[in-house]
């Protein structure tokens, strides 16, 4: 299952069911789980852990040193879960000493060509990064978020669950769960109605999320006032809990309103 031209470091741990294409390099302290397919001309450096049933397409560069001047060569790592599709020319860097030592990617994510995930980022499950979507360091992208082509996310920003960043959006502050943002700088333009409908949210739940959106963005309230209103809503509408948590736990960048 390993092409003769591939180079596998003696300390790498590669499951016997893994396929490795020609001219691929698997470096020291790399672990690759069962059922994973590594295409040709891929570079995987360690310490990096890849789970099961991932597919790494040609020319991807996985687990390279962080692009951060503060990095001093420490033993930082990259952790990738199961069932991810990592397309051509994607780059994912390991963590830094200052950022917690780890970059982490969850399960069942689609990273399209030329997407970039920088050091110390945390990406959840079932996300989509379209072509050239880019994360700076220390970004958190939560489950089911979608980043459209050519968008970019500033350091330390949190992109919430089920949110949608439109084409070429420049995200400089937190994107709340369910919210659609667009522009430079990215601003909210309603909720990701189509996305959450596709994920099985009912019409009633979508209406409730729209009502919460209006409280956050349309009534001119202070954040503390918004939080109090959502605390009442969440008692009968648990889907609002994601928005409430994001408002109560923003990043240092603040919330895009």
Q: Does 177 reside within a domain?
A: no
Instruction: Give pLDDT tens digits for 54-79.
Output: 999 999 999 999 999 999 899 999 99
Instruction: Please confirm, yes or no, whether 137 is among the known catalytic residues.
Output: yes
- Out of 57, 68, 99, 119, the active site residue is 119
Give the pLDDT of residue 253. 97
In CATH, what number is assigned to the domain containing residue 235? 1.20.1180.10
Q: Does 236 reside within a domain?
A: yes
Choose the final residue of a domain: 138, 171, 188. 138
Report the relative pairing of strands 43-44 and 128-129 from DSSP bridges. Answer: unpaired
Query: 115 with 222, same domain?
Result: no
Domain count, the chain: 2
CA distances from 229 to 100, 173, 201, 241 (A): 35, 22, 22, 12
Q: Give the closest residue to 246 by CA, choosing from 238, 255, 233.
A: 255
Burial 62-89 (b: 16+ CB within 10 A, else e): bbbebebeebeeeebbbbbbbbbbbbbb
Q: 137 pLDDT band (50/70/90 cuts)?
A: very high
Instruction: Please confirm, yes or no, whether 3 is among the known catalytic residues.
Output: no
Instruction: Please confirm, yes or no, whether 184 is among the known catalytic residues.
Output: no
Choose the final residue of a domain: 138, 155, 186. 138
CA dihedral 178, 181, 186, 187 (to 10 degrees): -90
- Out of 81, 137, 149, 160, the active site residue is 137
Give the pLDDT of residue 17. 98
Predicted TM-score of the model (pTM): 0.97
Q: Does 149 reside within a domain?
A: no
Task: Say how far apart CA 108 and CA 139 lie, in whole Å.
Answer: 19
- Out of 83, 99, 120, 195, the active site residue is 120
Give the pLDDT of residue 47. 98
Structural domain for 47, as ranges: 7-138
Query: 48 with 130, same domain?
Result: yes
What is the overall mean pLDDT for the chain?
A: 97
């Amino acid at each position: 299952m390993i092409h003769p031209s591939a180079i596998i470091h003696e300390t790498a741990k590669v499951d016997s069911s893994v396929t490795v294409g020609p001219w691929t390099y698997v470096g020291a302290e790399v672990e690759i789980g069962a059922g994973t397919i590594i295409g040709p001309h891929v570079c995987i450096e360690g310490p990096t852990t890849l789970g099961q049933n991932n597919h790494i397409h040609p020319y991807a560069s996985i687990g390279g040193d962080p692009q951060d001047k503060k990095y001093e060569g420490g033993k930082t790592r990259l952790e990738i879960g199961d069932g991810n599709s990592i397309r051509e020319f994607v780059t994912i860097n390991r963590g830094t000493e200052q950022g917690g030592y780890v970059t982490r990617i969850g399960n069942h994510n689609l990273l399209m060509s030329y997407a970039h995930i920088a050091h110390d980022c945390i990406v959840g499950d079932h996300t989509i990064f379209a072509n050239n979507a880019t994360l700076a360091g220390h970004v958190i992208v939560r489950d089911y978020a979608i980043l459209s082509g050519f968008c970019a996310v500033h350091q330390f920003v949190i992109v919430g669950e089920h949110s949608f960043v439109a084409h070429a959006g420049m995200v400089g502050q937190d994107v709340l769960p369910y919210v659609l943002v667009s522009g430079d700088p990215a601003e909210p333009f309603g909720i990701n109605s189509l996305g959450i409908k596709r994920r099985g949210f009912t019409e009633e739940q979508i209406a409730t999320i729209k009502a919460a959106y209006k409280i956050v963005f349309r009534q001119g309230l202070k954040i503390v006032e918004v939080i109090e209103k959502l605390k009442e809503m969440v008692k009968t509408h648990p889907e609002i809990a994601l928005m409430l948590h994001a408002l109560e736990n923003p990043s240092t960048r603040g919330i895009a309103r």
